[in-house]
């Protein structure tokens, strides 16, 4: 059933998968328990997350828990063909090809859903979009699902407000193990890893413009500063802007930042963040990147209309020559740069995020009879369990409150 580019790539993919498995101890512990308890026995699970090695590991863990797993990507440029082949060779039905057209990408999503899953793992809301719309026929068995991203959760809450959410959904992105760890430290490292590897340029001394100062933006700005960049933050939220100022970053509107930036990174989850009005005043050879889920933050189509020439200047870098001779460089087609032009978050980071996914799916399966079609927060006991497992894996320990301290914190008499 699998749809991959070339099964002869499977050995390379299996090596990548095994490598990350060695560095994901929290998920390994969950896998060992799942293999014994089989919490997903008789259940079908569809996973749509960036199709690379860490995601493949999640698929294998769910399969060890008794699930019939189908796995597909959540962005055509982040799919790694060798990993897709490797996962398929390990018995998980896999649907994904790097560089798939929009039609092919949607077809892969539909094929992954065609076994009419009981549980889903979504990344950006593509599965929910289909199950709540033109492929509602595939939603008849749904117990619930999990959403990995800020962008996806915004759309889930909008659907909940309108009463059109197809099933209960868990806001995994809002878990402490996700946004404290994955969004800040994972995005912070993987974005710069991708930019530096792709461009082979230095960060120190450059003016870096970060649009959006949420958890992901904090990580991107922090790492840029640590490498010697002059960081400018653009925001619409006054308190996030004040926070950026307190961290020593300059804050200004994009209209002004566009004139001085050398590297631009958008992490807003919104559209039209960098537009033709900004392209018109940018420096020659500015680098334009996006680290938000969808490729609508940098208006690449608008830039193409302005350009008199566009050419591939280096793998994953397209140069757009403007009428006055300036060249603006877009990395990874304006898609999620850390995956379109890199390997995504480090394995140790995704260990925690995917541990949340695995335990949240188990919670949904156990509580299936009492759930409403709304967005649920990850229970604190899941978050805390993962945090303690990760601390133990790192050889760290923390203090525990005494009964008297618990009483003091929860009462008023003391």
- Annotated binding site: which residue ranges? 149-151, 214-219, 235, 291-293, 338, 345
What is the DSSP-derived secondary structure letter of residue 291? -
Closest CA to 125 of 115, 116, 133, 117: 133
Cα gap 377→189, rounded to integer Å = 27
SS3 content of the chain, % helix, strand, coil (to 5): 50, 15, 35
- Identify the three-state secondary structure at position 178: helix
Classify the phi-psi angles of 116: left when phi > 0, otherwise alpha if psi is within -120 to 50, otherwise beta.
Answer: left
Task: Output the CA torsion 237→238→243→246 (10° steps).
Answer: 150
- Say if CB 105 and CB 81 are below 8 A apart: no
- Give how far the C-alpha of residue 131 lies from the chain's centroid of Cα atoms, to the nearest Å: 21
User: What phi, psi does 283 have (nearest 5°)?
Assistant: -65, 155
Cα gap 278→280, rounded to integer Å = 5
- Say if CB 319 and CB 178 are below 8 A apart: no
Residues in contact with 61: Cβ distance below 8 Å, sequence separation at least 6, in sequence order: 27, 30, 31, 34, 354, 358
Q: Which residues are annotated as a binding site for NAD(+)?
A: 149-151, 214-219, 235, 291-293, 338, 345
- Identify the three-state secondary structure at position 237: coil
- Say if CB 297 and CB 254 are below 8 A apart: no
User: Would you tell me the crossing angle of helices 53-64 and 81-89 to the nearest 10 degrees?
Assistant: 20
Cα gap 182→342, rounded to integer Å = 16
Cα gap 173→143, rounded to integer Å = 19
- Residue 46 is encoded by which pair of tokens? 């569809």
Handedness of CA 48, 54, 57, 58 (dihedral sign): negative
What is the DSSP-derived secondary structure letter of residue 379? P
Residues in contact with 198: Cβ distance below 8 Å, sequence separation at least 6, in sequence order: 314, 315, 316, 317, 331, 332, 341, 342
């Amino acid at each position: 059933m699998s749809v991959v580019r070339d099964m002869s790539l499977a050995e390379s993919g299996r090596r990548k998968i095994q490598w990350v498995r060695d560095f994901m101890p929290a998920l390994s512990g969950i896998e060992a328990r799942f293999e014994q308890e089989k919490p997903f026995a008789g259940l079908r699970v569809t996973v749509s997350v960036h199709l690379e090695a860490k995601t493949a590991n999640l698929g294998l863990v769910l399969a060890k828990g008794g699930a019939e797993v189908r796995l597909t990507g959540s962005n055509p440029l982040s799919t790694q063909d060798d990993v897709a082949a490797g996962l398929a060779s390990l018995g998980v039905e896999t649907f994904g090809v790097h560089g798939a057209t929009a039609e092919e990408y949607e077809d892969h999503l539909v094929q992954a859903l065609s076994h009419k899953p009981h549980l889903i793992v979504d990344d950006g809301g593509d599965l929910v979009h289909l199950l709540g719309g033109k492929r509602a026929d595939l939603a008849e068995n749904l117990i619930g699902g999990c959403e990995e991203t800020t962008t996806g959760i915004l759309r889930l809450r909008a659907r909940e407000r309108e009463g059109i959410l197809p099933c209960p959904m868990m806001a995994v992105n809002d878990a402490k193990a996700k946004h404290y760890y994955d969004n800040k430290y994972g995005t912070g490292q993987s974005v710069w890893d991708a930019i530096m590897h792709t461009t082979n340029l230095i960060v120190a001394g450059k003016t870096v413009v970060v649009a959006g100062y949420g958890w992901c933006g904090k990580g991107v700005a922090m790492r840029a500063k640590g490498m010697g960049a002059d960081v400018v933050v653009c925001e619409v939220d006054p308190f996030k802007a004040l926070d950026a100022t307190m961290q020593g970053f300059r804050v200004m509107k994009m209209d002004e930042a566009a004139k001085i930036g050398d590297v631009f990174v958008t992490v807003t989850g919104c559209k039209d963040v960098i537009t033709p009005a900004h392209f018109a005043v940018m420096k020659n050879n500015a680098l334009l990147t996006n680290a938000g889920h969808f490729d609508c933050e940098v208006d690449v189509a608008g830039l193409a209309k302005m350009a008199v020439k566009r050419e591939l200047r280096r793998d994953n870098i397209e140069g757009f020559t403007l009428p006055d001779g300036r060249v603006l460089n877009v990395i990874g087609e304006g898609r999620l740069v850390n995956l379109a032009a890199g390997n995504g978050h480090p394995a140790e980071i995704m260990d925690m995020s995917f541990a949340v996914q695995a335990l949240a799916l188990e919670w949904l399966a156990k509580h299936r009879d009492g759930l409403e079609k709304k967005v649920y927060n990850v229970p604190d006991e899941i978050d805390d369990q993962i945090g303690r497992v990760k601390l133990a894996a790192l050889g760290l320990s923390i203090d525990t409150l005494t009964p008297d301290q618990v009483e003091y914190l929860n009462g008023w008499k003391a």
